[in-house]
Amino acid sequence: MDKWLRNTNVVRIVALVIGILLWVVVHMEETNITGNSPLREREETINNVAITTKYDDTHYHISSMSPANVQIILKGKEASVKKVTSSNTYQIQLDLTQVGKGDHELVLTPVGFPSDVDVQIVPRTVHVVIEELQMKEVPVVINVKGTPAAGLKAGQPIVKPGKVYITAQTSKLEQIENVRGEVSVDKAQSAVTKQVRLQAFDKEGKEVVLNMNPSVVDVEVPITSPFQTIPLQLKISGEPPKGFAIAMITQNPDKVTVYGAQDVVDRLEFYQGPQLSMQDVKETKDFALDIPLRNKVTQLDPAKVTVHVEIVPSITKAIENVPITIIGQNENYVTKVTQPATASLNITVEGAPTIIDQLKVGDIQAILDVSNLPPGKHELNITLNLPTFVKLGLPQEVKATVEISEKTVKAANP
């Protein structure tokens, strides 16, 4: 080793190698300082940066914002600039929390950028139009689609809740025609129950997207036989005994829903209910009666009727000069009432005081039917049409004699 160090050529070679190594090290450090140094200043441009809005979306709606995207120019240390471009933590924010409805020109704010990075926003301001949100209550319309199984019919949908609240800007609310959903009952044999998503539509039938509460409702569509609701007719037979009269009869219900085949239901104008006898009834009473099934009706709702009968002591009243009306006359004959000579009746009627006190001659009809009778004299029974709950007060024959003769034909003048 000592021999090599004393050799001049060896020392020169070693010195040359060390010099080269020192040059390389120094050159590499200079390159790092000038080329990739985190202390070097850098400028970066980012295009089409979306604007983030901050506002109360429960009370306001942004109708328009121009522009919706901006350009940002970043200036700062290279490491800090790279940190921004490699992350999504920054925002260009439009703060609307302190402004209300109307047109506004507002300044944008950079949020989430390093403090040592200068941020330039192009453009710095935006034009924004804000509308106030309004709430409106609207009814729910359910469209029933399809046809149930043979012989069955879909009833009126039951919707819970029946109304919903929609929230939107005033201009949008004015477009809303209705809120509706759809339920299929195709081939259904029993009630269809489901949750239905609602949609809002404008007057042209186009869907309008808005906030709706609730947006889903519970719907039940009854599936039944064809039905219709018609008056319930009671048949009253018999009369209270002498000295008593019916003042009033009320029933509950007065209408009944009948179910059956479509042709059966369609031809019914009223439903004949049970028969109630007033024979020997002397006091006010309530009757609970079953309503019988008739004429191929399969179901009734309700199936019972309650009848309240008010019985009171009766009074009598004489009614004079009730005109006799002749029906069924032959146009080729002359028909004349000969007995009574006045062609009118004097009768006594009986009933409840509230009815009898108001009774007039015009409320009574005396009908004499002469249909198919030949010429001659005939003694006939008179049919009296009395008001409801009014009867003849005394046992009396109500008869009349008529004379039927041929019309006299006048001779023609020569």
pLDDT at site 218: 95
- When the pLDDT of each residue in the chain is averaged and rounded to a whole number, the result is 86
pLDDT at site 42: 85
The residue count of the chain comes to 414
Residue in 92, 90, 98 with CA at minimum distance from that of residue 53: 92
Q: What is the pLDDT of residues 349-392, one digit of tens each?
A: 999 999 999 999 999 999 999 999 999 999 999 999 999 999 98
Give me the mean pLDDT over the 140-161 stretch: 90
pLDDT at site 34: 45
Q: What is the pLDDT of residues 207-238, one digit of tens each?
A: 888 888 899 999 999 988 888 899 999 999 98
DSSP 193-261: EEEEE-EEEETTS-EE--EEESSEEEEEE-EES-EEEEEEEEEEES-PPTTEEEEEEEEE-SEEEEES-
Q: What is the pLDDT of residues 378-388, one digit of tens each?
A: 999 999 999 99
The predicted model scores a pTM of 0.48
**How far are the Cα atoms of 95, 143, 165, 208 from residue 173, in angstroms, in the given order?**
26, 22, 11, 9
Can you tell me which residue has the tokens 């109630």?
276
**How far are the Cα atoms of 100, 336, 344 from residue 2, in angstroms, in the given order?**
92, 177, 173
Q: What is the pLDDT of residues 68-122, one digit of tens each?
A: 899 989 898 888 888 887 777 788 888 888 888 888 898 898 988 888 888 898 9
> Which domains, from first to last, does the chain contain?
41-123 (2.170.120.30), 133-224 (2.170.120.40), 227-313 (2.170.120.40), 315-406 (2.170.120.30)
Measured distance CA(48)–CA(53) in Å, rounded: 15
Q: What is the pLDDT of residues 325-339, one digit of tens each?
A: 999 988 889 999 999
Q: What is the pLDDT of residues 244-287, one digit of tens each?
A: 999 999 999 999 999 888 888 889 999 999 999 999 899 999 99
- State the pLDDT confidence band at 32, using cuts at 50, 70 and 90: very low
- State the pLDDT confidence band at 35, using cuts at 50, 70 and 90: very low
Measured distance CA(283)–CA(146) in Å, rounded: 55
- State the pLDDT confidence band at 319, using cuts at 50, 70 and 90: very high
CA atoms within 13 A on the CB side of 371: 4
pLDDT at site 167: 84
Cis (ω within 30 of 0) for the bond into 214?
yes
